[in-house]
């Protein structure tokens, strides 16, 4: 993977790290006992797959730093632990889920290519359970990368396709086939003076990996119940379609 300069670490530092540091400091002044940082499970994958260089991307670099600064700020005063969150399915009343971007891409194109890898998945309810569990059973400087089931990007896309009742083709690309497309996206952004929090070229490499988690590593300790993730994904897509039809 080619090495690129990352220009936006300061932006994410100010957005992710400094506010968290301030919140932990305020929690200490309020004499609270526990604090849970909601982070990204790609922090876990950055450690698991160093070859992807995820830890140096602006977004993940500051997600890792966010945890460490929160731990340091709470040292000796408050117990701080972190949740590392993967794909989350669920709905909020009258709020459009972020998964709409994938609905649009799969519905609006004849072909929606994916890479061979996959991701861990949870529901919004499980995130809430994990947060309570971390407060009750977590200890200072612990991080919990939570995931219920693991799903390939191909299955994820096909579930959305099924709910949309489209004929969109979902081919699985090799890295060699897909990498030039993602590199072009980075170049297009650069020409417009913008940069992704995780470069598209890096995402191509990451999505070759099966970024999976074992629910048994965290759910028993945090007292999180297993759920029907595929059903919740389908319900989320149906809710997106419902909100679209209300316009």
Query: What distances in angstroms separate CA 31 from CA 37, 72, 76, 78, one per listed residue?
Result: 17, 16, 12, 8
How many domains is the chain built from? 1
The two structure tokens encoding residue 119: 């991701």
Q: Is residue 220 part of a domain?
A: yes
Q: Is residue 4 part of a domain?
A: no
- CATH number of the domain that 81 lies in? 3.40.50.720
Q: Is residue 1 part of a domain?
A: no
Q: Is residue 3 part of a domain?
A: no
Q: Which helix (H) or strand (E) holds 244?
A: helix 229-245
- pTM, entire model: 0.92
Q: Using an 8 Å Cβ cutoff, are 118 and 147 in contact? A: no
Range of the domain at 120: 9-245
At which residue do the structure tokens 């090799």 appear? 174
Q: Is residue 2 part of a domain?
A: no
Q: Is residue 111 part of a domain?
A: yes
Distance CA 202, CA 7 (A): 15
Query: What distances in angstroms separate CA 52 from CA 20, 26, 68, 122, 198, one per listed residue?
Result: 26, 36, 21, 24, 11
- pLDDT per residue as tens, the chain (247 positions): 444 555 678 899 999 999 999 999 999 999 999 999 999 999 999 998 888 889 989 999 999 999 999 999 999 999 999 999 999 999 999 899 999 999 999 999 999 999 999 999 999 999 999 999 999 999 999 999 999 999 999 999 999 999 999 999 999 999 999 999 999 999 999 899 888 889 999 999 999 999 999 999 999 999 999 999 999 999 999 999 999 998 7
DSSP letter assigned to residue 49: -
């Amino acid at each position: 993977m080619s090495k690129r300069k990352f220009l936006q670490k300061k932006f994410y530092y100010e957005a992710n790290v400094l506010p968290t540091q301030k919140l932990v400091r305020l929690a200490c002044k309020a004499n609270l006992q526990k604090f849970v940082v909601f982070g990204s499970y790609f922090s876990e994958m950055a450690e698991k797959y160093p070859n992807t260089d995820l830890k140096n991307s602006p977004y993940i670099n500051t997600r890792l730093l966010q945890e460490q600064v929160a731990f340091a700020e709470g040292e000796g005063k408050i117990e701080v632990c972190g949740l590392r969150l993967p794909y989350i399915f669920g709905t909020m009343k009258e709020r459009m889920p972020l998964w709409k971007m994938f609905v649009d891409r799969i519905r609006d194109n004849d072909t929606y290519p994916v890479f061979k890898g996959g991701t861990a998945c949870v529901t919004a309810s499980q995130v809430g359970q994990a947060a309570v569990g971390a407060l009750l059973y977590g200890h200072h400087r612990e991080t919990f990368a939570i995931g219920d089931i693991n799903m390939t990007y191909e299955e994820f896309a096909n579930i959305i396709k099924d709910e949309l009742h489209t004929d969109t083709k979902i081919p699985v690309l090799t890295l060699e086939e897909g990498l030039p497309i993602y590199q072009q996206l980075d170049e297009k952004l650069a020409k417009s003076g913008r940069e992704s929090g995780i470069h598209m070229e890096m995402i191509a490499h990451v999505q070759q990996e099966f970024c999976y988690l074992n629910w048994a590593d965290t759910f028993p300790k945090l007292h999180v119940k297993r759920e029907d993730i595929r059903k919740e994904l389908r319900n989320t897509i149906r809710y997106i379609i419902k909100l679209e039809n209300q316009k």
